[in-house]
Amino acid sequence: MTPTLVFDIETVPDVAGLRRIHALPQSLSDADVLDWALQQRRAATGNDFLPVHLQRVVAIACALREGAGLRVASVGVAGDSEPELIRRFFDLVDKHTPQLVSWNGGGFDLPVLGHRALIHGITAARFWDWGDEDRDFKYNSYLSRYHTRHLDLMDVLAMYQPRSYAGLEAMARLAGFPGKLGFSGSEVHAAFIAGRIEEIRRYCETDVLNTYLLYLRFQQMRGTLSADEYAAEILLARDKLATSKEPHWREFLTAWDANTPT
C-alpha cells in the first residue's frame, strides 16, 4: 500500500530576504524593515500578506500512515535551520514516494517549499519528477493540479473554484473533529519573535492531524474506505493520542470528545 504523508507548514516573513532584495540599510531594525515592506504590500495589493518567496519556513509537520502505523510529528528539531527543515521534508518524499495530502498545499505550502528550496539549493528529485525516467510519473506527478499524487483537499472539495474554498478550522469542527488548538496562523509570527517555536511546532502538528482526519472522511465519502475500515482508522488515530504523554495531544483528544456529535 502506498504510504500517505499529510503535511503542513508554518512561516514567518523573511526579513533578511527583504533586506537583500531592496538593499535596505543595516541601520534599520527588523521591525522597521517589516513595517516598511507591509506598507508597500498593502499599497500594491490591499493586504499585507507577503508573497510565497518571502515566506520563511519555521515548522513543518507530517502525519505518516504506513503499514500498520501512524506517526504524527514535526520535521527535525526546534533548532533546525530553514534549509534543514525543507531538506528533511523532501527526503521523506524521496524515501517513501507517498500520497501527499494537504489543506491548501497547492495554493501555499508547496509553492513556498519549492521557492525556498530553490533559494537554498536543496535537491528534491522525487518531488520534481516529470516522468523522464519513471513513466508512472509522466501522467501522475506531484506537480499537476489535476494529478492525484498530491491531493489538496481544500481545492478538490471546492471543485477547483476559489469562491467555494472552506477553511480547515471550519471543516474540521463541522465534521466533529477538534479544529485548531493553541492559536491561529495569524499569531505565528508574534509567537516566533517571542521564541515560542515549540508551541508553533505543536500547533502545526494539530493542523496536520485535523487534515488527516478529514482525509479519512474524504476516503470514506469516495468509497475507498468502507464504514468498518474508516472506523478502524479513526480508532488507530485515537489510540495514538491516548498513549501520548504530550499535553497538546491530550488537549486534542479532549476537544475531539467535546466536539463529537451525540
| CB proximity list for 169: less than 8 A, separation 6 or greater | 179, 180, 184
Task: Convert the pLDDT of each residue in 55-106 to its tens digit.
Answer: 999 999 999 999 999 999 999 999 999 999 999 999 999 999 999 999 999 9
pLDDT of residue 81: 97
Contact indicator for 76, 58 with CB cutoff of 8 Å: no
Report whether pLDDT(170) > 90: yes
Per-residue CA distances from 36 to 15, 22, 32, 50 (Å): 11, 11, 6, 12
Does pLDDT of 253 surpass 90? yes
Q: Which amino acid is at 195?
A: G
**Banded pLDDT at 50 (limits 50, 70, 90):** very high
Give the per-residue pLDDT at 135: 86
pLDDT at 206: 97
Specify the number of domains making up the chain: 1
pLDDT at 251: 95
pLDDT, residue 2, reads 94
> pLDDT band for position 145 (50/70/90)?
confident
pLDDT category of residue 201 using cuts at 50, 70 and 90: very high
pLDDT at 120: 98
CA 107 – CA 205 distance, rounded (Å): 19
Read off the pLDDT band of 182 (50, 70, 90). confident
Distance, CA of 141 to CA of 145 (rounded, Å): 9
The DSSP letter of residue 160 is T
Residue 183 DSSP symbol: -
Find the mean pLDDT for residues 226-249.
Answer: 96
Backbone angles phi, psi at 183, to 5 degrees: -160, 180
pLDDT above 90: residue 1: no
> In angstroms, rounded to a whole number, what is the distance separating the alpha carbons of residues 22 and 256?
46
Reduced to 3 states (helix: H, G, I; strand: E, B; else coil), residue 4 is strand
Residue 61, pLDDT score: 98
CATH number of the domain at 35, please. 3.30.420.10
The model's pTM: 0.96
DSSP annotation of 50: P
pLDDT above 90 coverage of the chain, percent: 89
More confident residue, 2 or 185: 2
Q: Residue 115 is part of which domain span? A: 4-259
